Structure 1
Amino acid sequence: MASNDTLNIRQLLTPANLRPLAAPLLIIMILSMMVLPLPVFLLDVFFTFNIAVSVMVMLVAMYSRKPLDFSVFPTVLLMTTLLRLSLNVASTRIVLMHGHSGPDAAGKVIEAFGHFLVGGNTAVGIVVFVILTIINFVVITKGAGRIAEVSARFTLDAMPGKQMAIDADLNAGLIDDKEAKRRRKEIAQESDFYGAMDGASKFVRGDAVAGILILVINIVGGLFVGVVQHDMAVGDAAHNYTLLTIGDGLVAQIPALIISVAAGLVVSRVGDDGDIGGLVIGQLFSNPQVMLLTAAIIGVLGLIPGMPNLVFLLLALSLGALAWTRRKKMAEEAVTAAAAQPAAPAAAAPEAQEASWNDVAPVDVLGLEVGYRLIPMVDKAQDGELLKRIRGLRKKFAQEVGFLASPVHIRDNLELRPNAYRIALKGVEIGSGEAYPGQFLAINPGRVSGTLPGRETKDPAFGLPAVWIEPAHREQAHALGYTVVDASTVVATHLNHLILNHAAELLGRQETQALLDHIGKDAPKLVEDLVPKLLPVSTVQRVLQSLLEEGVNIRDMRSIIEVLAEHAPRTQDPAQLTARVREALGRAIVQSLFPGNAEVQVMALEPGLERILMQAMTSGGDGGVIEPGLADTLLRQTAQIAQRQEDIGLPPVLLVPAQLRMLLSRFLRRAVPSLKVISNNEVPESRTIRVTAMIGAQG
């Protein structure tokens, strides 16, 4: 039983269990010193501890890289202030009770500060104490408090902007949720820290005022106690109690001054590249030219008659030697850096140069060329907003479509108009437009209630009427019903629209192989059984491209590979394999067109027209041939009915038999780009189909 109790006590006394008790025990100790009398030895120990803590706090402040690395400093500031005040109370009690016995009545620490620091001269001690108090109160504490107050105000004002920047980075895909939470927490802590420092600095100022009052009270009280209670002579009482009081005040004010300096160091530092000592040395003594000029000025002053020539000339020589050493070191570093760089090849004469494969420049898969006024939007050095949006677009494309597209290569083109940009796919232009940095594009979605002053244009992505407006008219545009976006959003939206429309062309052989390798990490056997045993990579690529051409994403690669592996032994035709994959993905295809469990409201072919097209399929050989008159009527009626579907808020979807789907999809795609053609086999049995319009032949 006793051994168990001993074990429990040992467990309770472990450092992990004692650490939470440190702060309550320190507070209890501080309050006890204000109430209970202390032995002289303990008073010396606590005064020494107070000095050690203040030095430690200043060193921690100097080696902290940023203010939040010492976020507990306001609390430490409060606790050290309370410790000093409690020591003042305890020492005052001892001085008044035993001061008549001699200068060592209050301990060796107070005696040392009273005798050796000020030579036992009470007048000098009072002057030194007052000067230290003024320095602490008027200079250091006031300056640190002002910096903390201004920093807290500006940090609070900047919080909305910082939060919006975090949200923008999160939406653009530059950071994840954990990093966003960490940044938001850091911003909140920074604001709380400067606010706490602003309040904590008032404790130090109050401590300085309390030190002066305690000095006066101790001197007056000591004279009264010494003369009245102990029958001392006025001169002896004044000497003893004043010397003890000055020692007590100095032993408290010097740690207070050190803590105030630490507070100033914490709130006044800028940047987080290193500790304060390294930053000061690195920035103050890094330029040899500055040290040479300083040495010259000090040397000239040292040559003036009547000046302390030896001191000035010695300092000038020291600075000159330091500057010479620094310049020599910089020259050696420059030589070492130049030697580390590869030597530039000698320029050959033009007639001696031969053509090589290096002269064959590869064509960028995706390229964005901008005029010179748009360069700041894509300049990394200027933190171009468009760069972040493009990175976010690639990530969003990979998540929604199912593969990682090639990077967008951005370059300036002086042949373009200053505000123009050009988007190229494999070296061929697929889109262009103009953007005006500093202005906003107000897009008319079709229901605005007024007009805006500005440069009329069209939205480059969707062709809607729009106006480039000044920032002052932004709120007016919102009020009139316009959709307002900035210049970088205009370019990014246009680029995103084109990338989605040309997704099939972006899926090359290399991207297909990378996609299969990625799937193979989780399902290696599934990929090995398909490629290259049953199908070559080129056939898989063609199937995936066929899906992308009709707006079907390929995120469900597992299902696609399983269907291809099932049907590849019977056919190698990409068109037939695509049809089988579409049937397997039918639920997802219909869900993307008609979300939820709503009715599948589609257009359909008139039975007679359907029979004619089926006959054309069987008699026209591979792919089928439609009679020109019938083709013209089919195109015209499909376009008209599809437009009516869009006007009533329904997606233009044509439901046809599986045999006709591929033929009609290719035939109608160019005339009606927004039309989606699905087959009966692709609609899940759980979905209800309702035909809203019939397409029939005339004549």
Structure 2
Amino acid sequence: MSDRRLGQAIFPAAVIFVVAMMVIPLPTQLLDLLLTLNIAAGVLLLLASMNVRKPLDLAVFPSLLLVATLFRLGLNISSTRLILSKGDAGEVIEAFGNFVISGSLVVGLVVFLILVVIQFVVITNGATRVAEVGARFTLDAMPGKQMAIDADLNAGVIDDEEARRRREEISSEADFYGAMDGASKFVKGDAIASVIITIINLVGGLVIGVVQLGVPVGEAVSRYSLLTVGDGLVSQIPALLVSISAGLIVTRSAGESDLGSDVFAQFAAQHHALRTGGIALVLVGFVPGLPTVPFVVVGGATLVVSRRLAARAAAVEAAAHDDRIPPPPDPDDPNELMRSMRVEPVSLELAVDLVDLVDVSAGGDLLDRVRGLRRKLALELGMIVPPVRTRDNLDLPLGSYVVRVHGVEVGRGTAPPGQVLVLADDLAALPGVETREAVFGLPAKWVPTSHRAHAEAVGGTVVDRASVITTHLAEICRRHAPELLSRQEVKGLLDVVRRTDPAVVEDLTNAQVGVGEIQLVLQGLLAEQVSIRDLVRILDGISQRARHTRDTEQLVEAARTAIGSAIAVAHAPDGVLAVLTLDPMLEQALLASVQQGEDGRFLAIDPDQAERLGRACAERLVAAEQTGRAPVLVCAPALRPALRRYLSRVLPQLPLLSYEELSDHLTIETLGTVSLEHALEV
């Protein structure tokens, strides 16, 4: 029989037997066996709670706590029935009574009451409070943990299965502490019930023995008190074990091993405290009036242990230090040469006086911001930007930094120590060095940090040095996203799609579209600042067009058409898309001038006409921007690739959409028409 079927059969039968035991008389031999089983169950629960690494490893403990409590109460009822009816409750109870009482009823009752107080006042109350606080804190922390899981999932750090497992673990943890908060009340009620049952047994036994059986008072007290105290001890010892188990479970934090190993390992690291404690114990032993031998023996033993732990810690630290310092690499080693030759996709080089930005001990958080920037760009662009290698460069001027893409410098800026960048309409009132903001080229000024409050008071926008660098780095990554999208990264994206939408990847395979072709299409989209997050629809558009042509330019247009509504919405704040259109005559003339070259379509127009076209588009763009709008230029689908090739050189900031990419649910607002004085002649 499997473990599942065995548990389904035995556990319900055991619960039903516990309930039946409360009303069905038991023979003394069976009661002895069940009392022994109760003690064994308490010991097993205690050992199991000490060996778990985290509370959820014993998630069934609240239910076991309830069943153990019911089992104990059932045994109390059965033993009380035998004590009051026969004056005999079996050998186990009588043996515990003789061992503890030792001829004195007062001693037995005092020991029993002390056990009850320890369980009820100390252990149970503490475990109840810890479970209550743990349940509340776990519930309060759930939203933050869920957001952290979502962030890791969106950044590609974990997959859907791992995210689902973590969410289930968080939910199970909250359920566990909530159940423990309620189950600990059973232990408290059990302690109260034990005291009441003991009083009933003692008083009832005396009444039955003296009144009904005519036994002398002294003999009745001796007989029934022995059985009563024995019964109380037999039930309280397992109850105490279970209470300790509950306290260990709710106070256990997640660790790498069991409780005993963690305690020994963590105490072994406190050899300085042990040495100080040993010295203090030895000195106390020489205080007049105190026994010298016990204090000196314990203190000396503590000192010996501390010396051995210190020697072991020194050996471990030396070994770890040796491991941390690898031998210098052989400059002629081929692997070392390969590592030296490798060019990082993205690197950030800092001048020596900017190293504090990456020094965590000095409060630098630049590395954390860069990691957060990669998560943000992943959500924005739909690709994971390669890790940014950050290092110092002694050759850079003080206060400057350089961003390189594939080893080529693509951006440079300054971030002088002790200063903040201020953007304001009137910078003359602020002390500092005037400069230009690295991303948008706005006039700015580096101002000493001591004047930050003054800059904010005059309405300036204050930006700290780390934010300046990360903002510049983000803009560079957006601009060079096509170069950063490697073939290996594309393969990883396809693997993700294959797990969720295998049919899409299968269509691409049937159309014989390779990873390299998909890379070129995605790079074409990123070059126009189009997010590739909706990769499923992009790949679907590629596979459909690839049946008719393998031209990369046409595949890019097919992908744009597939996600056209998303492209248009990205340029339509509040659902209003501001557009510029081409004069119909101009558009027809441009369509007639489109020719196919080796690198794609282009406009075959003379330089004078090209200059007038660029000037006309720029004038319309400036006029629209003066009204506070950010327009897009729309044209015929067949014209868009060629016109985009031309405008990317003269007006790269002007988005160009085709009519097929306009979404039906957007409000189209036409801001003007681009026209020339004379129609182009082809």
Closer, same or farther in 2 for the Cα pair 1:608/1:128, shift >3 Å? closer
Residues 165-184 of structure 1 aligned to structure 2 (within 5 Å): 165-184=148-167
Closer, same or farther in 2 for the Cα pair 1:314/1:673, shift >3 Å? same
* Alpha carbons 1:604, 1:656 under 8 Å: kept: no
| Cα shift at 1:241 | 0.5
| Cα shift at 1:251 | 0.7
Q: What residue number does 1:428 align with? A: 409
CA–CA distance in structure 1, aligned partners of residues 4 and 127 of structure 2: 35
CA–CA distance in structure 2, aligned partners of residues 544 and 216 of structure 1: 82
CA–CA distance in structure 1, aligned partners of residues 323 and 510 of structure 2: 47
| 1:626 and 2:606 matched | yes
1:319 is matched with which residue: 286, 302, 307? 302
| Cα shift at 1:113 | 0.4
Q: Deviations over 1:249-272 (max 9, x none)?
A: 111111111111111111223342
Q: What's the secondary structure of 1:272's corresponding residue?
A: coil
Q: What residue number does 2:447 align with? A: none
Q: What's the secondary structure of 2:347's corresponding residue?
A: strand
1:669 is matched with which residue: 638, 644, 648? 648
Q: Report how many residues are paired.
A: 622
| 1:241 and 2:224 matched | yes
CA–CA distance in structure 1, aligned partners of residues 83 and 227 of structure 2: 7
| 1:16 and 2:17 matched | no
CA–CA distance in structure 2, aligned partners of residues 121 and 391 of structure 1: 76
CA–CA distance in structure 2, aligned partners of residues 660 and 34 of structure 1: 86
| Cα shift at 1:208 | 1.8
Residues 175-574 of structure 1 aligned to structure 2 (within 5 Å): 175-303=158-286, 307-334=290-317, 336-337=319-320, 364-368=344-348, 375=358, 386-393=369-376, 395-396=378-379, 399=382, 405-411=385-391, 423-425=403-405, 426-430=407-411, 495-506=473-484, 511-512=486-487, 548-550=526-528
Residue type of the alignment partner of 2:275: L
Q: What residue number does 1:7 align with? A: none
Closer, same or farther in 2 for the Cα pair 1:557/1:201, shift >3 Å? closer
Residue type of the alignment partner of 2:205: G
* Alpha carbons 1:367, 1:424 under 8 Å: kept: yes
| Cα shift at 1:226 | 0.6
Q: What residue number does 1:482 align with? A: none
| Cα shift at 1:20 | 2.0
* Alpha carbons 1:149, 1:194 under 8 Å: kept: yes
Closer, same or farther in 2 for the Cα pair 1:491/1:85, shift >3 Å? farther
Closer, same or farther in 2 for the Cα pair 1:46/1:489, shift >3 Å? farther
* Alpha carbons 2:370, 2:470 under 8 Å: kept: no
Judge which range, 321-330 or 600-609, deviates more: 600-609
Residue type of the alignment partner of 2:345: V
Q: Deviations over 1:125-153 (max 9, x none)?
A: 11111111111111111222222222223
Q: What's the secondary structure of 2:29's corresponding residue?
A: helix
Q: What residue number does 2:635 align with? A: 655
CA–CA distance in structure 2, aligned partners of residues 200 and 380 of structure 1: 45
| Cα shift at 1:461 | 6.4
Q: What's the secondary structure of 2:141's corresponding residue?
A: helix
Closer, same or farther in 2 for the Cα pair 1:494/1:207, shift >3 Å? same
CA–CA distance in structure 1, aligned partners of residues 390 and 270 of structure 2: 38
* Alpha carbons 1:113, 1:250 under 8 Å: kept: yes
CA–CA distance in structure 2, aligned partners of residues 60 and 591 of structure 1: 59
Closer, same or farther in 2 for the Cα pair 1:238/1:609, shift >3 Å? closer
CA–CA distance in structure 2, aligned partners of residues 195 and 643 of structure 1: 62
Q: Deviations over 1:503-559 (max 9, x none)?
A: 34435xxx3587589989989998999999xxxx8x999888666544577866798
CA–CA distance in structure 2, aligned partners of residues 248 and 169 of structure 1: 57
Q: What residue number does 1:637 align with? A: 616
* Alpha carbons 1:172, 1:389 under 8 Å: kept: no
CA–CA distance in structure 1, aligned partners of residues 590 and 146 of structure 2: 63
Superposition CA RMSD, Å = 5.6
CA–CA distance in structure 2, aligned partners of residues 287 and 155 of structure 1: 30
Judge which range, 375-384 or 587-596, deviates more: 375-384
Residues 107-186 of structure 1 aligned to structure 2 (within 5 Å): 107-186=90-169
TM-score (norm 1): 0.71
Q: What's the secondary structure of 1:607's corresponding residue?
A: helix
Closer, same or farther in 2 for the Cα pair 1:386/1:185, shift >3 Å? same
1:91 is matched with which residue: 71, 76, 79? 79
* Alpha carbons 2:481, 2:527 under 8 Å: kept: yes
Q: Deviations over 1:425-460 (max 9, x none)?
A: 444344769899xx9x999xxxxxxxxxxxxx9998
Closer, same or farther in 2 for the Cα pair 1:311/1:542, shift >3 Å? closer
Closer, same or farther in 2 for the Cα pair 1:460/1:230, shift >3 Å? farther
Closer, same or farther in 2 for the Cα pair 1:542/1:143, shift >3 Å? closer
CA–CA distance in structure 2, aligned partners of residues 375 and 235 of structure 1: 84
Residue type of the alignment partner of 1:142: N
Closer, same or farther in 2 for the Cα pair 1:122/1:587, shift >3 Å? same
| 1:603 and 2:557 matched | no
Residue type of the alignment partner of 1:428: E
Residue type of the alignment partner of 2:644: S
| 1:49 and 2:37 matched | yes
Provide the identity percentage: 37
Residue type of the alignment partner of 1:44: D
CA–CA distance in structure 2, aligned partners of residues 296 and 690 of structure 1: 86
Closer, same or farther in 2 for the Cα pair 1:460/1:413, shift >3 Å? same
Closer, same or farther in 2 for the Cα pair 1:263/1:491, shift >3 Å? farther
* Alpha carbons 1:652, 1:674 under 8 Å: kept: no
Closer, same or farther in 2 for the Cα pair 1:281/1:37, shift >3 Å? same
| Cα shift at 1:124 | 1.1
CA–CA distance in structure 2, aligned partners of residues 461 and 51 of structure 1: 74
| Cα shift at 1:285 | 3.4
Closer, same or farther in 2 for the Cα pair 1:506/1:291, shift >3 Å? closer
Q: What residue number does 2:450 align with? A: none
CA–CA distance in structure 1, aligned partners of residues 483 and 650 of structure 2: 20
CA–CA distance in structure 1, aligned partners of residues 326 and 414 of structure 2: 44
Q: What residue number does 2:66 align with? A: 78
CA–CA distance in structure 2, aligned partners of residues 383 and 189 of structure 1: 36
Q: What's the secondary structure of 2:581's corresponding residue?
A: strand
CA–CA distance in structure 1, aligned partners of residues 274 and 404 of structure 2: 55
| Cα shift at 1:41 | 0.7
* Alpha carbons 1:31, 1:86 under 8 Å: kept: yes
CA–CA distance in structure 1, aligned partners of residues 552 and 506 of structure 2: 22
CA–CA distance in structure 2, aligned partners of residues 442 and 529 of structure 1: 53
Q: What residue number does 2:19 align with? A: 31
* Alpha carbons 1:637, 1:695 under 8 Å: kept: yes
CA–CA distance in structure 1, aligned partners of residues 361 and 165 of structure 2: 28
| Cα shift at 1:486 | 12
Gaps of 5+ in 2: 331-335, 425-434, 445-462, 499-504, 571-575, 597-601
Q: Deviations over 1:16-64 (max 9, x none)?
A: 3342243432232222222111100111111111111111111111111
Q: What's the secondary structure of 1:428's corresponding residue?
A: strand
Q: Deviations over 1:305-357 (max 9, x none)?
A: 7655444444344333333333343344455556667675699xxxxxxxx98
| Cα shift at 1:245 | 0.5
Closer, same or farther in 2 for the Cα pair 1:91/1:553, shift >3 Å? closer
